[in-house]
Amino acid sequence: IMASDSDSDEDFVTYGTPLEPLEEGGPLKKPVPLHDQTVKDEKGRYKRFHGAFTGGFSAGYFNTVGSKEGWAPSAFVSSRQQKAEKHHARPEDFMDEEDFSEHGIAPREITTSQEFSSSRRDEAGEKARAISAQAALIPGDTLLEELIAPARSSIGVELLMKMGWKEGQGVGPRVKRKHESCKVYGCTLPPAGSEESEDDDEEFAPENVTFAPKDVTPVDFNPRLGVQGLGYRGLDPSLALLGHGTAEHIDLFKPQSETRNRLFGDTKSSSRRGGVVGQAFGVGALEDDDEDVYHRDSMSRYDTILGEEEPGDSLYGWTAPQQYTKKKVRSKDASYLGKILEGFTLAQKPLEEKTIFPPPCLPRDYRPVHHFRPSVDVSHLSGVSPALAEALRVSKGHMVKEEPQQAGRHQLDSGQRRALLGEDTLQGPSSVMELLRPEDRQRLLSFRNSSNPPSAKTSTPVSGHASQTSGKSAQVLPASSGLQQEALAAWRGIQTSSQTFKPFEKNPSKQARYELYLSRLKQGDNDALEQSLDPGMTEWERSREREEFVRASILYRPTSSSLSSRFTRAKDQEDDDSVEVSQDQEGDLDDKQSAVKMKMFGKLTRETFEWYPDKLLCKRFNVPDPYPGSGIVGLPKVKRDKFSVFNFLTVTESREAAGNFIHTQEALKSFNRQLLSAARNQTETKVEHTPTPALPALPASISSSDQAPGSKPEVVEEPSVQTSRRGSP
C-alpha cells in the first residue's frame, strides 16, 4: 500500500516504523526487557512469540485452532451437487491478506495500467534508449522490449492524435517557421542582397502557414552506478573477449565506442564481426579457424603508465635531453588525459604561469621572540600604597584612554619639534596667508567664517610661542574644531539646568571648568572652550583638556526632549526632574475622582479594555470565543497607552526637537486649547467652583474617546489651573 501523505510537501513513501531520532548527549535509553517487548498483529491483538526456532508467533488461541469459547467444527456441507458446476478457483482464493499485503506474493498495489503506459514505438525514445543501452553493463538489454510491442497505442498518444498530432512531430503549439536569420555582428545593417533570400523564404513559408514544432530527443540522464571516475567506460566485452587482434591495445578511457559512433551517424565501417566464435560452435565456411577460443588476456595489452610512451626509443627516462621533455610540455597532445569529457576542448593557450615570490630572507640575527615593554598595572601592584595607586589611576584622566601620555615624534607638529630641538624660528612668512594682500586675506577669512567648513585647511602650523600666548581658537586642531562646532550645535539654546552626568567628578576644579564650558555652550558662545580653560595650565594640559571637554560634551549631549520624555528615570534619583508620564496617570485618577464627586459617571469613569477569556472558559459558558486563534489570555500586556501623544503636551523644552515634531505638537496644542475652551464654556455655567486639585495633564479618558474638537466634551476641570499650567509654551 502506497502511503503517501498529501499534506506534506515531500511525497515520501514510508515503510515500517521510523526510528526515534537520536538525541546526542542524552542518557542512553535502557533497552526494553524481553518480557516487555510486545508484538501486535494488524488488528491490534497481542501476539506471543515463542522464539524463532520454536514456532514463531503463536496462532489462534493458545496455539490451538479454537477460541476462548472453544472450537466448533463447521457443519458438513456436501458439495456433491456442486461438483458438476466447475468451481473456478483462482490462486487468490488461497491467499490470505498477508499475501496481498505490500510485501506478499501478490501485492495489491496501485500501478499504471497498461492503458496509460506509453509503450508506443517512438523513434526518438528508442534512440535514447539505445544510447543508454550502450552505456549499460549488458549492451542490448532493451532488445526484448523492442521486439515485443503492443498493438494499441497508449491513451496519451490517442489523445494527442485526436488533437491533431502526427507521429514524428513535436508536441506543442504550432509555430511559424522562422526566417533564416542572417546573423549580423556589429552595428551594420544587413546588406541589401539579403532581401532576396528573404523573398525566397517567403515562397516556402507563407505568412499564414504554421508548422508543428520539431520533435525533440528526450535527454536521458543515466546515473552513475560504479565507483570509477568520470569517463570510465570499463571493458567492452566485445573487445576484450571477442576481439581478434591480440596486438590491439585496450584503452579503458577510449573516447567513444564504435557502436556509439554508429548510433550517432558516424559511418565508420567496422570490419569486425561480433558473435560468438569458437570451435564449440563450429567454424563456419567463411570464417577462419580461430585460435583464441579460450582467450587469455595479458597485461601487456593494458597501459601501465599514464601518458604516451616516450617518443623514439624509450631509453630516455626523466633525465631525458632537453628537447624531448620540452617538446612534451609544449605539445598539445592530450593523450595522457584519455577521454576528454564531452563539452570540453583542450585549451589553445596554456595557462599563464603564476609567479611565486619566495618569502623574504630573514636577517641572520633574527630571533622570533617579542618582548613587550613593561607597563605599570596599578591594580596588580601589591607593593604600592593605595594612595599612590589612586593617584596613578586618577592622573590618567579617565576620559582619555587612547591618547598616549607622551606624543610620539610624528604626533608633534613642526613647531613643537622645532621647540624640542631648540632651533630658531624660520625667517619669513610662516603661513600662506601672510603672503596674501590684506584685503584678500580679509575676504578669505570672511568666506571661511560664513561657510564654516569643519575641516579648515587654513590652520597652518603656528609657532609655539604665539599659540601659548594668544589662546585663541585659531590654534585648535582641525579635527577638534569640527567636533567643537558639533558640540556647540548640540548644546546651543538648551535651557535645562538638569546636569545629570558629571564626567570629571573626581576632579572638582576640572568639573567646574567643564560646567562653565557647558553653560557657555548653551549660550551659543563660539569661544566657549578657550574661555573656560584654566590659563595657568601648561599648553599640553590645556590641549588635552580641550580635547576631553569637547568629547565629553558631544558624548553626553542632551538627548532631544522628545526622546527623553519617553524614558522614566529611576525613582530613587534625588533630582527633581520628574517625568510627566506617571503624573499623567495620577492626574487621570484625580480627574476620575472629581468626576465621581460631581456624580458624572459615564465616559469619564469608564474604561474599556480588550479582555481575552480562556478558551475553556468560553466553552464552559457556552459562548463562542471572541478572539478565536489568539493565544492571549487576560488583558493584553500593555494595558494603557502610556506614551500617547497627549503626554507630550506638557513638554516645554522642545525647541531643539526636530521641526516635524514641533509641527505635530503645535497642532495638538491648538487642538487642546480648543477642547479646553469648549469645556470651559460648558462647565463654567454649570459648576461654580469645585476645589479640585491641580490637574497636571489632560485626562487619558479624553484621549481614548475620539472626539472631534467641536463636539461636546465631558471634561470637567478647573479652567484657571489648566491655563496657568498651559501658559508656558
Partner 1 sequence: MAFPQPRPQAPQIPQHLLRTIDCQQGAVRAVRFNIDGNYLLSCGSDKSLKLWSTSRGTLLKTYSGHGYEVLDADGSYDNSQICSCSSDKTVILWDVATGQVTRKLRGHAGKVNCVQFNEEATVILSGSIDGTVRCWDTRSRRYEPIQVLDEARDGISSLKVAQHELLTGSVDGRVRRYDLRMGQLHVDFISSPITCVCFSQDGQCTLSSSLDSTLRLLDKSTGEMLGEYTGHKMKGYKLDCCLSSKDTHVLSCSEDGHVYCWDLVEGSLSLKLPVGKAVVQSLSFHPTETRLLTAMEGRVQVWGADEKGSA
Tally of CA atoms within 13 A in the half-sphere of 525 that contains its CB: 15
Nearer to partner 1, 256 or 705 (CB): 705
How large is the angle between the packed helices 659-686 and 719-726, nearest 10 degrees?
A: 160
Looking at the DSSP assignment, which residues form a beta bridge with residue 64? 61
In whole angstroms, give the CA distance from residue 129 to residue 649: 83
Is 230:337 a contact under the CB 8 Å cutoff? no
Q: Give the ranges where 422-523 is alpha helix by DSSP (H).
A: 432-435, 438-451, 464-470, 478-491, 508-522
Residue whose CB is less far from partner 1, 449 or 593 = 593
Q: Answer yes or no: are the C-beta atoms of 523 and 483 closer than 8 Å.
A: no
Nearer to partner 1, 528 or 595 (CB): 595
Q: Which residue has the cell 506534506?
A: 8
**CA–CA separation, 62 and 65 (whole Å):** 8
CA angle centred on 175, ends 169 and 181, rounded to 5°: 110
The residue (of 398 and 639) whose beta carbon lies closer to partner 1 is 639
Please state, as a whole number, how many other Cβ atoms lie within 10 Å of the Cβ of residue 513. 18
* Plot region of 282 (φ>0 → left; ψ -120 to 50 → alpha; else → beta): left
CA distance 715 to 684: 11
Residues sharing a CB contact under 8 Å with residue 122, sequence separation 6 or more, in sequence order: 167
Q: In whole angstroms, how close is the CB of 621 to partner 1 at the nearest point?
A: 5
Name which of 172 and 626 has its Cβ closer to partner 1. 626
C-alpha cell at 338: 584519455
State how far the Cα of 662 lies from the Cα of 651, in Å rounded to an integer: 11
CB of 624 to partner 1, least distance (A): 7
Q: In angstroms, rounded to a whole number, what is the distance separating the alpha carbons of residues 145 and 457?
A: 90
- 651: cell is 513638554
- We find the least distance from the C-beta atom of residue 692 to partner 1, in angstroms, to be 13
Work out how close the CB of 720 gets to partner 1 at its nearest, in angstroms, rounded to a whole number. 24
CB of residue 684 to partner 1, shortest distance in Å: 23
Check: CB of residue 332 under 8 Å from CB of residue 346: yes
Residue closer to partner 1, measured from CB, 140 or 634: 634
C-alpha cell at 232: 570510465
Shortest distance, CB of residue 611 to partner 1, whole angstroms?
A: 4
Dihedral sign, CA of 379, 380, 382, 383? negative
Say if residues 334 and 346 touch (Cβ distance below 8 Å).
yes
Q: Where are the alpha helices (DSSP H) in 136-248?
A: 143-147, 155-162, 194-204, 237-240
CB of 619 to partner 1, least distance (A): 9
| Distance from C-alpha of 151 to C-alpha of 635, rounded to nearest angstrom | 75
Please, which residue, 503 or 699, has the CB nearer to partner 1?
A: 699
DSSP calls for 40-77: E-TTS-EE-B--TTTTSB--TBTTBS--TT---PPPP-
Q: Do 486 and 554 touch, CB atoms closer than 8 A?
A: yes
**Which residue lies nearer to partner 1 by CB, 617 or 645?**
617
Q: How far is the CB of 622 from partner 1 (least distance, A)?
A: 7
Shortest separation between residue 591's beta carbon and partner 1, angstroms = 10
Nearest distance from C-beta of residue 687 to partner 1, angstroms: 17
Q: What is the CB-side half-sphere exposure of residue 179 using CA atoms within 13 A?
A: 15
Nearer to partner 1, 519 or 605 (CB): 605
Give the max Cα distance, the chain: 145
Cell of 129: 534508449
Question: For residues 476 and 604, which CB has a smaller minimum distance to partner 1 in the complex?
Answer: 604
C-beta closer to partner 1: residue 443 or 606: 606
Query: Shortest gap between Cβ of 1 and partner 1 (angstroms)?
Result: 39
CB of 598 to partner 1, least distance (A): 11
Radius of gyration of the chain (CA): 50
Tell me the CB-side half-sphere exposure of residue 431, using CA atoms within 13 A: 12
Cell of 272: 569486425
Instruction: Assess contact for 654 and 661: CB atoms under 8 A.
Output: yes
Question: How many whole angstroms separate alpha carbon 412 and alpha carbon 418?
Answer: 10
Q: Which is nearer to partner 1, 239 or 598 (CB)?
A: 598
Cα angle 502, 504, 506; round to 5: 110
Grid look-up 508484538 returns: 39
Smallest distance from the beta carbon of 568 to partner 1, in angstroms?
20
Partners of 612 in beta bridges: 634
Closest contact distance (angstroms) between CB of 647 and partner 1 is 21
- A 10 A CB-CB count for 174 gives 12
Q: Which is nearer to partner 1, 476 or 697 (CB)?
A: 697
Residue closer to partner 1, measured from CB, 182 or 616: 616
In the bound complex, what is the minimum distance in angstroms from residue 620's beta carbon to partner 1?
4
Between residues 516 and 618, which has the closer beta carbon with respect to partner 1? Answer: 618
Interaction site with partner 1 (CB under 8 A): 592-593, 595-597, 599, 601-603, 605-614, 616-618, 620-624, 626-627, 633-635
Of 397 and 587, CB closest to partner 1? 587
Quote the least distance from Cβ 604 to partner 1, whole Å. Answer: 8
* Other CB atoms within 10 A of residue 160 CB: 16
Is 714 in contact with 602 (CB distance < 8 Å)?
A: yes
Of 449 and 630, nearer to partner 1 (C-beta) is: 630
Tell me which DSSP letter residue 39 carries.
Answer: E
Minimal distance in Å, beta carbon 630 to partner 1?
9
The minimum distance between CB 380 and partner 1, in angstroms, equals 53
The nearer residue to partner 1, 133 or 715, going by C-beta atoms, is 715
